[in-house]
């Protein structure tokens, strides 16, 4: 009888017609790991999904090209295109307002300066403002948002009401007022943009921290006697970085656009330093007669900002754990 029962169990287990329980998420991950031959993590899966996103890859490629051009400009731009800021008044009449040609791919401006050279060197200022201003905003937003989410109560209300005060004013007007206080200049420009951009980042950080605050590993770290700073830096922030990375990437494009707007108004980078926004400002009265003066700087701003937006959108999809491979 016992042998018969064992035979029945063996037959039932091997019978393909018998219903089987679906594999759990852990079992499915183990099977996928065994098939691939290596362990899979959130970041490896995100990298794979990002590579499959063509628009994100186009944006990343364009950002890479702009960075390489900006870093290597001194090696080739002055020899091939000419100086972006030094001009000779004796030959200015012969060189000014030349249309695009083989010698001047993007034409020349009213001073006889090569537009392509000024765009190349202007990329340095735009990228520097975008990266540094976003870093300032991220630093303030990470601290304020993490403290608000972790401690809650009075600190949360204080941080959020302070953020509301900053968000209540129009961004450009607030930036103009801050630059009027700090004074014009490249350094003051990215300080103003960075200081005014922290409230939105703080809100993103706060919502991300709140989503992981009540997880069991946080309670376990607290029960083991870990300090508040260790819990926030070691256990909470690393698990809440996905939306922060996405928003930070998109914020670089927004900072570049803000720099162009402020330079267009005469509050950003000043001549002779090249700036895409300042080039647009000088081309306002000449865009009908000499359209290349506005087309090429505008295209540089458009494509660079769009590249960061596409990359940020791709990162959002890649870091979404609900996305299927």
281-302 pLDDT per residue, tens:
989 888 889 999 999 999 999 9
CA distance 207 to 48: 26
Per-residue pLDDT of the chain (325 residues; tens, 9 = 90+): 444 444 444 444 444 444 444 444 444 444 444 454 455 676 788 888 889 999 999 999 999 999 999 999 999 988 888 888 887 776 677 888 899 998 889 999 988 899 999 999 999 999 999 999 999 999 999 999 999 999 988 999 999 999 999 998 888 888 888 888 888 888 888 889 999 999 999 999 999 899 888 888 888 888 888 888 998 888 888 888 888 999 999 999 999 999 999 988 888 888 888 989 999 998 988 888 999 999 999 999 999 999 999 999 999 888 876 655 5
CA distance 235 to 247: 21
**Is there a contact between 159 and 144 (Cβ–Cβ < 8 Å)?**
yes
**Residue 91 confidence (pLDDT):** 64
Domains of the chain: 54-74+114-318 (1.10.3720.10)
CA distance 187 to 138: 17
169-216 pLDDT per residue, tens:
888 888 888 888 888 888 888 889 999 999 999 999 999 899 888 888
| Sign of the torsion formed by the C-alpha atoms of 45, 51, 55 and 56 | positive
**Residue 6 confidence (pLDDT):** 44
DSSP string covering 121-140:
HHHHHHHHHHHHHHHHHHHH
Residue 231 is given by DSSP the state I
**Residue 322 confidence (pLDDT):** 64
134-154 pLDDT per residue, tens:
999 999 999 999 999 999 889
């Amino acid at each position: 009888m016992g042998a018969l029962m064992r035979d029945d169990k063996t037959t039932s287990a091997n019978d393909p017609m018998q219903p089987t329980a679906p594999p759990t998420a852990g079992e499915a991950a183990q099977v996928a790991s065994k098939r691939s031959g290596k362990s899979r993590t959130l970041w490896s899966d995100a990298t794979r999904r990002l590579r499959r996103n063509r628009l994100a890859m186009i944006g990343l490629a364009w950002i890479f090209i702009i960075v390489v051009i900006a870093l290597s400009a001194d090696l080739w731009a002055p020899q091939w295109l000419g100086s972006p800021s030094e001009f000779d008044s004796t030959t200015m009449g012969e060189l000014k307002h030349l249309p695009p040609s083989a010698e001047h791919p993007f034409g020349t401006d009213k001073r006889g300066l090569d537009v392509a050279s000024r765009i190349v060197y202007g990329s340095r200022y735009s990228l520097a403002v975008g990266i540094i201003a976003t870093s300032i905003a991220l630093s303030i937003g990470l601290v304020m948002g993490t403290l608000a989410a972790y401690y809650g109560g009075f600190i949360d209300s204080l941080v959020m009401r302070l953020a509301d005060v900053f968000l209540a004013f129009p961004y450009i007007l607030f930036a103009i007022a801050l630059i009027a206080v700090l004074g014009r200049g490249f350094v003051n420009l990215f300080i103003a943009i960075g200081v005014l951009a922290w409230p939105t980042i703080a809100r993103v950080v706060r919502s991300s921290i709140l989503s992981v605050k009540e997880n069991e590993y946080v309670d376990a770290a607290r029960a083991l006697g870990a300090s508040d700073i260790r819990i926030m830096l070691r256990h909470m922030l690393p698990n809440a970085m996905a939306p922060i990375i996405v928003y930070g990437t998109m914020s670089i494009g927004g900072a570049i656009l803000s720099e162009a707007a402020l330079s267009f108004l005469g509050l950003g980078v000043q001549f002779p330093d090249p700036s895409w926004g300042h080039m647009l400002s000088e081309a306002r009265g000449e865009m009908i007669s000499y359209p290349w003066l506005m087309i090429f700087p505008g295209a540089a701003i458009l494509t660079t900002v769009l590249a960061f937006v596409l990359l940020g959108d791709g990162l959002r999809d890649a870091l979404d754990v609900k996305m299927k491979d």
